[in-house]
Structure 1
Amino acid sequence: MKHTRRSRTSRLAWLAIPVAAGLTLAGCSSSVSTGKEPQTITFAYGATNDQDKAAYDGLAKAFEAENKGVTITTQNLPVQSYGTTIATRVQGGNAPDTFFAEGGTGQAQSILPWAKSGLVLPLNDASITKNMPDSAKNLYTYNGKIYGVPLGTQLNGVIYNDELAQSIGVKIDVSTSLDDIIAQCGKARDAGKTVYGLAGSTFQNNGILAVGIATSTVYGPDKDWNTKRAQNKVTFAGSKGWTTALESVKKMYDAGCFQDGATSAGFDALTNGASSGKILGFFAPSGAAQQIMQAAGGHVKLVALPVGAPDGTKTFLSLSADQGVTVSAKTKSPKLATDFLSYIISDKGQEAYSKEIGSIPVNVKNDSTLLPQYAGIKDEIAKNDTRGYAPTEWPNAKIYTDLGNGVQGILTGQMTVKQVLQQMDTDWG
């Protein structure tokens, strides 16, 4: 869930839950290419579990059902090496016709650098332009042309067992400040639990926590902070908001908000802690809630929440539509491949995929398109009290890696907040 990749398969790669699920999509109209181009294309992805695979394969099968005579051959590539594998194939000119990729820049499978190099196909279909949400355009547009479509939107924050929390007298919702959360960590400890689980040995999990806080302390007050950093008008080390974000992580640690041994813990600590009721929540893209609930057979109810902001700071949701699909410039079926992406971003395609995978449709029309786990934040979504996932606009992968590793260093006393932020500035270049 990266950092060669900041996708679900990097931020959420640990969630290897064997969930068997199917995806049935309602019919919609879509045009089929005619003429001499082949009516068979490939669609590659890296599924973290059976539910992911069912969702991707379901998109392909639903499109086939709407377009008789068309075949989409899916390829499930190893998730841990997906970013480097697909990048090698794209650079080598033998990429799949369509494939999972990341909007933005700075990742092994980022779409915009490929667009700049002419390696992926510009998408000129009017329905794609119409359905592309304004909030995601910058992640998929280069020189005025669109080169990919988002699969859905994720909240990057906390997966939280509210029923378990309230049973021990802990109350956290979208309005709870980080200071109020920290004040309740002792109560959770007294009940033999911790408010949060942290896989502190993994830069991905540390990173999503740090960015979750910085969404409010940095990007809430200044949504253009990344642009200003690119113009050398601001720095990580000189930013009060970034300093506050990392200092807040240390405050959470000192208050016992994370489980014992958090700094050396892996992702298994989260799955084991959640399944045993030892932790109330953990940091992950919101799709994890759906996957865990389905794996538990409906016996567990989880909600998705943002990471709370410190007192005096407004909490903003971190929403990202960076997980998407693009088309190889080498495809022999450009019209058919474009039609497939047009279906993915259509209202019916988005709603059905989002329900299966647990994400949010990129074009939320009303509350009925939101899954129950988003009930507590629907007003914030409607008010657009949101920011994107900041690292999708960073120029390279090392910045996020060093942020996540730096958080571990701060918690173990091996690094200071200033040293971590200075390293991030060096990485930016």
Structure 2
Amino acid sequence: MTFSIARRRRSATAVALPLAAGLLLTACGSGGGTSANGEEPKTITLSYASANTGEKAFETLAKDYMAAHPGVHIKTNRIALNTYNQTLTTQMQAGNGPDVMYVNAGTGQAGSVGQLGKAGLLLELDSSLKSVLPEGTEELYSAGGKFLGVPVSLAVSGIVYNNDLAEKSGVTITPASTLQDVLSQCAKAKKSGKSVFGLAGSISQNTGLLTMAIASSTVYGPNPNWNQDRAAGKTSFAKTEGWREALQAVVDLKKAGCFQDGAAGAGFDALTNGASQGKLFGFFAPSGATKDIMDAAHGAVKLTALPFPAPKGTKTYPALTANIGLAGNAKTKSPKLVQSFIEFAVSPAEAKKFADAQGSIPVGKSISPSDLLPQYQPIADMLKNKQYRPYGIDAWPNGQIYDALGSGVTGLLTGQKSIGDVLKAADAAWTS
């Protein structure tokens, strides 16, 4: 089978594949003043970002809440992904932002909890909601000592893979594979006129996503606290052997012919064309892309979400991101209603329904294999046993670091930069 494509995206820093492989992947206002009897307004607004006009997860969430709470009305506002962060920031600073909003975790971009929270624009939430936060994510949804948001779903950032297509060329990649296993099969794929991976090498977000998928094992595998150590000045990109291993893996993949021809200069159109023609077995994207593509193919394609295989001798860890969340407006006239809506969004039944609609993983302290969609079954045991790491860039202090990493990897692919050059640039961006 070939990939027939359409796709949604995930958050800008974490996703990095807005139109990759052809996947398809408003303004707002808070809900009016307090009534004469002192009751909160029962109409609130919800803004969310999406690159896919067909996405219904947030719309369904709002409808479910209204059905369970007669008399409440939620006005939803879909904003295009590529303008969402700036639009939201502008509205919030002007005092006319939504009551509830889709936010990005951490501090790495404009529409994030850290950035909005530091400006005092987000509603402090009841600490009871912390009970749903996956391990290692509390700091991503807090700022200034205040708890300000919750993730509404989880995703694996790694490989979207068509195993049926790969096996026809005698190529096998599983969660138990190593980097060396992958490298040894790339020539076989080339002989059949195909490539193991598609890469938009000229797009820094895509090369960055590839590198982070490898670094989940080589950097964050042995040291889950690498970000904290970097912030404390105890280490650096240049001093961390795991970052060198991750970048060397990219170079080795290129040398072994694992990417399509011309990958270094390729854009997302190369993934679109290659995947639709059945010439690529996999590419690098958040795992929600699996659902978008399979839905567009009407059952003709079966995809799985895989971690990137670690070098031999290093344990493989999927990168689990909790970077899509909800937060409330500090200026809302309905703080109790906003709190109630956010609590509803992360209740077990609704979280499962939301994740299924989005093609993601239900948010919660633990992950049950029975709650996972079929595309996650190859890594179900990894997720159940917490053999994963948080997506590193979610907690980086600014977006320039990821840009430096991604553009640096493009330089590696063209031969214009060395591994040392890339690491030096990432360290400089960390302190910018």
Q: Structure 1 length normalisation: TM-score? A: 0.92
C-alpha contact (below 8 Å) 2:20/2:271 kept by paired residues: no
Match of 2:198 in 1: 197
Which structure 2 residues correspond to residues 207-356 of structure 1 after superposition, within 5 A?
A: 207-356=208-357
Which structure 2 residues correspond to residues 124-139 of structure 1 after superposition, within 5 A?
A: 124=126, 126=128, 128-139=129-140
Q: CA deviation at 1:294?
A: 0.5
Match of 2:141 in 1: 140
C-alpha contact (below 8 Å) 1:7/1:323 kept by paired residues: no
Q: CA deviation at 1:18?
A: 6.2
Match of 2:412 in 1: 410
Question: Which stretch has the larger CA shift, 297-306 or 82-91?
Answer: 82-91
Match of 1:62 in 2: 64
Runs of 4+ in structure 1 deviating by more than 6 angstroms, as ranges, are: none
Whether 1:396 and 2:398 are equivalent positions in the alignment is yes
Cα separation, 2, equivalents of 1:262 and 1:296: 25
Which structure 2 residues correspond to residues 141-180 of structure 1 after superposition, within 5 A?
A: 141-142=142-143, 144-180=145-181
Whether 1:40 and 2:43 are equivalent positions in the alignment is yes
Letter paired with 2:299: G
Note closer, same or farther for the CA distance 1:365–1:185 as it changes in structure 2 (3 Å cut). Answer: closer
Letter paired with 1:36: E
Match of 1:89 in 2: 91
Question: Which stretch has the larger CA shift, 265-274 or 367-376?
Answer: 265-274
Which structure 2 residues correspond to residues 102-141 of structure 1 after superposition, within 5 A?
A: 102-124=104-126, 126=128, 128-141=129-142
Q: CA deviation at 1:366?
A: 2.5
Q: 3-state DSSP class of the match of 2:136?
A: helix
Q: CA deviation at 1:17?
A: 5.0
Question: Which stretch has the larger CA shift, 96-105 or 287-296?
Answer: 96-105
Letter paired with 2:255: D
Match of 2:31 in 1: none
C-alpha contact (below 8 Å) 2:23/2:289 kept by paired residues: no
C-alpha contact (below 8 Å) 2:14/2:393 kept by paired residues: no
Question: Which stretch has the larger CA shift, 297-306 or 358-367?
Answer: 358-367
Cα separation, 1, equivalents of 2:308 and 2:294: 21
C-alpha contact (below 8 Å) 1:318/1:386 kept by paired residues: yes
**1:124-150, Cα deviation, whole Å (9 max, x unpaired):** 163x23323333222113355421111
Aligned identity (percent) is 44
Q: 3-state DSSP class of the match of 2:311?
A: coil
Cα separation, 1, equivalents of 2:284 and 2:24: 20
Note closer, same or farther for the CA distance 1:185–1:147 as it changes in structure 2 (3 Å cut). Answer: same
Match of 1:23 in 2: none
Q: Structure 2 length normalisation: TM-score? A: 0.91
Q: CA deviation at 1:154?
A: 0.5
Q: Calculate the aligned-residue CA RMSD, in Å.
A: 1.8
2:53 to 50, 53, 61: 50
Cα separation, 1, equivalents of 2:24 and 2:18: 14
Note closer, same or farther for the CA distance 1:18–1:321 as it changes in structure 2 (3 Å cut). Answer: closer
Letter paired with 2:390: G
1:5 to 3, 12, 17: 12
C-alpha contact (below 8 Å) 1:51/1:357 kept by paired residues: no
Q: CA deviation at 1:106?
A: 1.9
Cα separation, 1, equivalents of 2:54 and 2:177: 32
**Contiguous gaps of at least 5 residues in structure 2:** 1-8, 26-36
C-alpha contact (below 8 Å) 1:157/1:209 kept by paired residues: yes
C-alpha contact (below 8 Å) 2:105/2:112 kept by paired residues: yes
C-alpha contact (below 8 Å) 1:132/1:345 kept by paired residues: no
**Contiguous gaps of at least 5 residues in structure 1:** 20-33
